[in-house]
Amino acid sequence: MPPVDDRAYGGHWWPVLRANWHDRRNGLRAAALARGGHLRAPHGEGKVVWIKAGGSPDSVRLACELLGALRERRLDIRLALTFEQDYEDIIEPRVRGLRKIGLGYGPSDRPAAVRRVLKRLNPIGLVLVDTAPHPNLLRASAAMKTHVIAFNTPPTPVMVEAAYPLDEQQATAWRSSGKTECLADAADPLALFAEAQIDTTLRSLAAVGRDELHLWWWHDDCGDTQAETIAQWRQSPLAHQGVLFVSGRPASAARAHADLSIGDWDRGALPPGHVIWVDDPRWFGAIASAATGGYLETHVRATLWQALAGGCPLTPGAATRALRPSLPISPQTPSAQSAIWADWQALMAEPLAARRRGDAGRRYFWEERRRVQGVIDAFLQRIFDW
């Protein structure tokens, strides 16, 4: 089911009413009730910390990870997790077996819903996780002297105790707003979730007995370049001793131009010139660790961190550069596909240069990962001190 409109959880009555009507018609009565603030506090004893996620998969995953870390650190409190979209495959394995927690859809920012949910939960602390900073909830929380933390969340209209920005752009916005008592270092928690120790058997399987075979990776989830890329690959000298893995938009029509989907691969040797369609992001780490080089055009942070963690010598596209302007990787964004093929030819001819580029990306990943761990440790200590 696609994510609901953000306005369904805002403070204006008509979008909230329309979302409630839609949910009830589709059997989502729990979402409609929660939007009105009809939540139950977690069972057990202890003060409540409310972790409020948004509607994106990244927001919900981060909220679940923070909940799990808090549960390990403090066993005396109860933890309430709310979200605007239910991703069972993300939530269930991360909360399984945890005690004194409650989870479900969250409330809208309608004044009556805010009053109701705060009365029912009576939280000692509110943690906003990558979500819209709803003003009615924040003002009511401030009036109740509730601790409020903004994690990967834009600046709020009300002063908060601490802010943990996602990147330098968000950190700059927080500094300009002056709405936080404590501003942490910018750090992207998704770097912590990337698979760092990657099994490198992909190349040995694909190129069994052929050391001269090179694997290449083309990923574009921002545009529709795959069909043209596959056509040019067929005519490229790189295809004579290489295999191309293509990924990006799952529903792309270019999928029909590939020779094989990775889900259908029998793990046997791949012939030179073959194009493999990758429709499962769980393969990205293995491909990144095995590829001689790759082109990455993405607005998905998890994809970028996995590519860097795998040590793939990357040619970054414009969207990738915009996602992390501080990427220490050259060359600059290519202006045409011919420039990418030329860069790949250079990587194949100069393996030491390719290794240096891959190592630079891997170091950048590990620096961010260490920074994230420090930020999360400080976050946990702050809540421990409440």
Provide the token pair at 235. Answer: 């005519």
User: What is the average pLDDT across 275-287?
Assistant: 94
User: Are the CB atoms for 121 and 50 separated by under 8 Å?
Assistant: yes
Sign of CA dihedral 304, 308, 311, 313: positive
Distance CA 169, CA 186 (A): 9
Work out the mean pLDDT of the chain and round it to a whole number: 91
Beta bridge partners of 215: 243
pLDDT at 7: 62
Residue 316 amino acid letter:
P
pLDDT at 2: 42
244 or 254, higher pLDDT = 244
User: What is the average pLDDT across 170-186?
Assistant: 97
User: Over 90: is that where the pLDDT of 229 sits?
Assistant: yes
pLDDT digits (tens, 9 = 90+) for 15-58: 767 776 777 788 777 778 888 888 999 999 999 999 999 989 99
Is the backbone peptide bond immediately before 331 cis, with ω within 30 degrees of 0? Answer: yes
Query: Three-class SS of residue 139?
Result: helix
pTM of the model as a whole:
0.88
Pairing label, strands 242-248, 162-164: unpaired
In terms of residues, how long is the chain?
386
Helix (H) or strand (E) holding 285: helix 284-290
Share of the chain above pLDDT 70, in %: 95
User: Are the CB atoms for 59 and 90 separated by under 8 Å?
Assistant: no
pLDDT at 181: 96
Domains of the chain: 6-12+33-186 (3.40.50.11720), 201-367 (3.40.50.2000)
